[in-house]
């Protein structure tokens, strides 16, 4: 038996002007069913955002990214989603949306430490 479990992840993309289709990665959401784990880590490159849209609502984008992290963390700040299990929260967060913050496609892998995997993916694909 392996000490590694299957995990899923999706990148969070900032799309400042949906009509232009330009985007950049600003976070990652990781889910591991075997460990009932869901977490999001984000990093907003404000210079990149302003390069794509000088009038972008930086405060609003930051708030949206924090909200995703909050839903993953659960607790009272997560609202109704706090009552859902990790899998339902992950599926809700990766559902397609037509907003400034959009999830990318879901990818899979194996990990012994989903928390460390979240940080690794943030460093590799976002920062």
Predicted structure pTM score: 0.91
Map the chain to HEC letters: CCCCEEEEEEEEEECCCHHHCCCEEEEEEEEEHHHCEEEEEECCCHHHHHHHCCCCCHHHHHHHHHHHHHHHHCCHHHHHHHHCCHHHHHHHHCCCCCCCEEEEEEEEEEECCHHHHHHHHHHHHCC
Short-list 53, 72, 71, 65, CA closest to 25? 65
Q: What is the mean pLDDT of residues 65-80?
A: 84
- Domain span at 117: 5-125
Cα 127 to Cα 124: distance, rounded to the nearest angstrom: 7
Q: What is the pLDDT of residue 19?
A: 87
If one counts the domains in the chain, the total is 1
Give the tens place of pLDDT for each residue, 79-116. Answer: 777 778 899 899 999 998 878 999 999 999 999 999 99
């Amino acid at each position: 038996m392996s000490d590694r479990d299957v995990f899923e992840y999706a990148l969070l993309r900032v799309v400042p002007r949906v009509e232009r289709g330009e985007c950049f990665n600003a976070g990652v959401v990781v889910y591991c069913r075997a460990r009932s784990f869901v977490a999001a880590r984000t990093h907003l490159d404000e210079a990149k955002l302003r390069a794509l849209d000088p009038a972008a609502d930086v405060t609003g984008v930051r708030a949206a990214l924090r909200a995703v992290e909050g839903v993953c963390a659960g607790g009272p700040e997560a609202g109704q989603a706090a009552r859902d299990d990790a899998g339902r929260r992950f599926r809700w967060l990766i559902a397609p949306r037509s907003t400034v913050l959009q999830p990318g496609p879901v990818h899979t892998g194996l990990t012994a430490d989903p928390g460390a995997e979240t940080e690794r993916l943030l460093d590799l694909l976002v920062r």
